[in-house]
Structure 1
Amino acid sequence: MSARQKVCVLPGDGIGIEVTEAVLPLFDTLNLPIDLSFGDIGWSCWQKEGNCIPDNTWKLISASNATLLGAITSKPLREAEAELSPALRGTGRVYVSPVIQLRQKLGLYANVRPVTDVLGDDRYRFSVIRENTEGLYAGLDFASIPPGFEAVLAERERNGAAWTREGPDDATMSVRLQTRAGLTRLFRFAFEHAREQGFDRVTLADKPNVLRYSGAFARDILESVAADYPDIHSNIDNVDAVALWMVRRPERFGVIVAENMFGDILSDLGAGVMGGLGLAPSANIGAQGAYFEPVHGSAPAYAGQNRANPSAMFLTVALLLDHLGHGQAARAIRNAVSEVARSDQRTYDLGGSASTREVAAAILQHSLDWAERLDGATAHRAPPAVKQGAHA
């Protein structure tokens, strides 16, 4: 690849800064044709400016091929207001998570969470794909019953609804919004991802036996999209059953796709199946770009202690490199992370005592070793097959 690419790096808050700094030497170590630019994001921006993504950061993002994001701090509304600089308090500033802003403004509708057997014997490999912009997290969350819904609830109450309330302010309401356009692009992304990754199954995790109408709506769209991918089997499972089988038999899955809240829960469960959030990367991809982030939080209690696991950030960079067309380097990084995670050089979350910088140095060296091994004829070799059990 001759043209150099641009990556915007936003280190974030807390341990996000530490793991980002530990991983960045990778770009030079592997001699990647990528130029890095750095921007500000997160809680300190909110405190100083009442804006957690400054205008200059948006400009850097728009001028880049992709964005690498460190963990960011997010707090409830009351705490957010209290931590503003005194001059900004009471001026109507509203805190909106940087993650939500990025996903909505850039149209990043697909959150991709690979789940791989980093600590074991490569028994399983699958992806959870979460819808990012609709579902129960669409923003239709109300402090009281909106007037337009009052007649609907009143009718249900006349027909014997189990809930008890005295008026519109005696209840709250959240609405699960799913659109035909949103589900169609999500399901098509899931099938394309399955084909690219060599998976033979797409499973929609939903609750159609309870959410009957929205579930039927999603089913019709899934079946319509699936008709264009006859080589890939598709099915719908109850989300609770999917959670059970992710723990007991993760090898049965290829791609799990779900609306926003179900996908949020299942993707973190996938991190637990892997061994913890310290191993879990993610990609957010859509029509106008992509950003990549490890899914652990900013963990302010551990900031500055040189204890955080950098593995998730290394695996996140591997996803970024795959997206930019550097598949061989991405494979070298994944192999390196797995080797180090299975060694005695582990951070505290994996039962070891190694520091962030020690583990990062080991992964950097193994990445270079693997890159040299993969150079040449084996550079484009297919990834090793994953054992898959019956799809019962």
Structure 2
Amino acid sequence: MRNHSIALLPGDGIGVDVIQEGKKVLEVASQLDGGFTISFESFDWGCEYYSKHGKMMPDDGLDQLKQFDSIYLGAVGFPGVPDHVSLWGLLLPIRRHFQQYINIRPVKLLRGIPSPLANRTQTDLDFIVIRENNEGEYSNIGGRMYEGTSQDMAIQASVFTRQGVEKVLRYAYQVAQKSGKRKRITAATKSNGITYTMPFWDEYIQKINAEFPDIETSIIHIDALCSFFVTKPDSFDVVVASNLFGDILTDLGAGIIGGMGIAPSANINPEKKFPSMFEPVHGSAPDIAGKGIANPIASIWCASMMLEHLGELDAAHAIMEAMQDVLEERKFVTPDLGGIASTEEVGNAICKRLYESMR
């Protein structure tokens, strides 16, 4: 029997609440499927760990995580710990050390959730954003000079490499080729205002496009593309973007499918040389942590994406169907979606539906 080892990093705030529900769903899915098992190990790394030890994880943290098949992260961030400390101390080192150069965020309207966009249905809102995850605008190159004086200045450099750009573009084209839908790539750019990196990006889009003549390709400026996410979301199949532009687009994507509490993401090492990491898009929301009102849907959707990545397609599909069945019934939904159910009640309802569909 196949066994998948998963490192649990609940992290901070509501990360603890939602990962608990996702873990329950994964356990039920594995028990009912019968073809695989899951072993978990939990790590208490995050901002609370930082407050005690002065670092977000131990010095050998990455070595500890390397042995696992997947990493399941809740959220990172807490008042008193600057965002650049929490992110650069845990999340970003994991993404980069494990070469998780692909970030996948589906923009898919689930059954039972109305879109804020008027008259838009599941058919209209069903595409994927693939974001370059390791370089681009989030490269850690730059610095401060003359800090605290009238000449205070900061410089931040973007880094676009041929290897990094080609890998994310080729991956996006391969996804579009297999999608069975529109077979269309939409690439975000800003080459009319950013002089070097964006024309470089555009150039490699054209080169990779030549390898996939069956894929229709559009290159659209990021400002216009944000508008089109709202006005014509039905025109997209696979959207590919640099690190910063992908980050912006995917938060907008979360908004048009119902909110941040729904949106999942995957940080993928396609070669499976290292573990991939799955995390909800939402933050740690410390103001509602422990109150039992956080929406676990994004975390549970991440669990489905994790199983799909691990090759457990039937269980991944069953989780998605059970989750949407519960949402559609409207009996167990959290306050952010207009309901009164608790985080735990939503998780339990999805587990129950899984039992009914898979036994």
Q: What is the TM-score with the length of structure 1 in the denominator?
A: 0.81
The residue correspondences of 1:301-340 to structure 2 (distance < 5 A) are: 301-340=287-326
Q: Which has the higher contact order (CA 8 A, sep 6+)?
A: 2
Instruction: Tell me by how many angstroms 1:303 deviates.
Output: 0.9
Instruction: Tell me by how many angstroms 1:358 deviates.
Output: 1.0
Instruction: Tell me by how many angstroms 1:96 deviates.
Output: 2.7
Matched with 2:38 is 34
Question: May I ask how many residue pairs the two structures share in their alignment?
Answer: 339
- Is the 8 Å Cα contact of residues 261 and 295 (structure 2) preserved in structure 1? yes
Matched with 1:111 is 103
Query: Which is further off, 347-356 or 47-56?
Result: 47-56
- Is the 8 Å Cα contact of residues 8 and 60 (structure 1) preserved in structure 2? no
Instruction: Tell me by how many angstroms 1:219 deviates.
Output: 1.4
- Is the 8 Å Cα contact of residues 51 and 95 (structure 1) preserved in structure 2? no
Matched with 1:86 is none
Instruction: Tell me by how many angstroms 1:170 deviates.
Output: 4.1
- 1:92-117 CA deviation, whole Å, 9 max, x = no partner? xx983411111121111111101101
Instruction: Tell me by how many angstroms 1:78 deviates.
Output: 6.3
Instruction: Tell me by how many angstroms 1:279 deviates.
Output: 0.6
The residue correspondences of 1:74-93 to structure 2 (distance < 5 A) are: none
Instruction: Tell me by how many angstroms 1:14 deviates.
Output: 1.2
d(CA) in 2 for partners of 1:125, 1:236: 20
Alignment-mate amino acid for residue 367 of structure 1? L
Instruction: Tell me by how many angstroms 1:15 deviates.
Output: 0.8
d(CA) in 2 for partners of 1:315, 1:340: 13
d(CA) in 2 for partners of 1:267, 1:346: 23
Alignment-mate amino acid for residue 348 of structure 1? P
Matched with 1:348 is 335
Matched with 1:63 is 67
d(CA) in 2 for partners of 1:268, 1:145: 35
Alignment-mate amino acid for residue 16 of structure 1? G
The residue correspondences of 1:1-392 to structure 2 (distance < 5 A) are: 2-30=1-29, 31=31, 32-55=36-59, 57-73=61-77, 96-118=88-110, 119-120=113-114, 121-123=121-123, 124-144=125-145, 169-199=151-181, 200-286=183-269, 288-344=274-330, 345-372=332-359
d(CA) in 2 for partners of 1:9, 1:71: 11
- 1:301-357 CA deviation, whole Å, 9 max, x = no partner? 101100000100110001100000011111111122222223322111111111101
Instruction: Tell me by how many angstroms 1:129 deviates.
Output: 1.2
User: Are residues 49 and 305 of structure 1, via their aligned partners in 2, closer, same or farther at CA, if it must alter by over 3 Å?
Assistant: same
Q: Give the 3-state SS of the residue equivalent to 2:187 in structure 1.
A: strand
Instruction: Tell me by how many angstroms 1:57 deviates.
Output: 4.1
Query: Which is further off, 2-11 or 296-305?
Result: 2-11
Instruction: Tell me by how many angstroms 1:53 deviates.
Output: 1.8
- Is the 8 Å Cα contact of residues 16 and 70 (structure 1) preserved in structure 2? yes
Q: Give the 3-state SS of the residue equivalent to 1:341 in structure 2.
A: helix
d(CA) in 1 for partners of 2:314, 2:134: 32
Greater share of strand: 2
d(CA) in 2 for partners of 1:270, 1:79: 23
Unaligned runs of 5+ in 1: 82-93, 147-165, 373-392
d(CA) in 2 for partners of 1:238, 1:79: 28
User: Are residues 56 and 306 of structure 1, via their aligned partners in 2, closer, same or farther at CA, if it must alter by over 3 Å?
Assistant: farther
d(CA) in 2 for partners of 1:314, 1:105: 25
Instruction: Tell me by how many angstroms 1:172 deviates.
Output: 2.4
Q: Cα RMSD between the aligned structures?
A: 2.4
Q: What is the TM-score with the length of structure 2 in the denominator?
A: 0.88
d(CA) in 1 for partners of 2:47, 2:165: 32
Query: Which is further off, 46-55 or 69-78?
Result: 69-78
Unaligned runs of 5+ in 2: 115-120
- Is the 8 Å Cα contact of residues 50 and 95 (structure 1) preserved in structure 2? no
d(CA) in 2 for partners of 1:349, 1:57: 35
- Is the 8 Å Cα contact of residues 328 and 371 (structure 1) preserved in structure 2? no
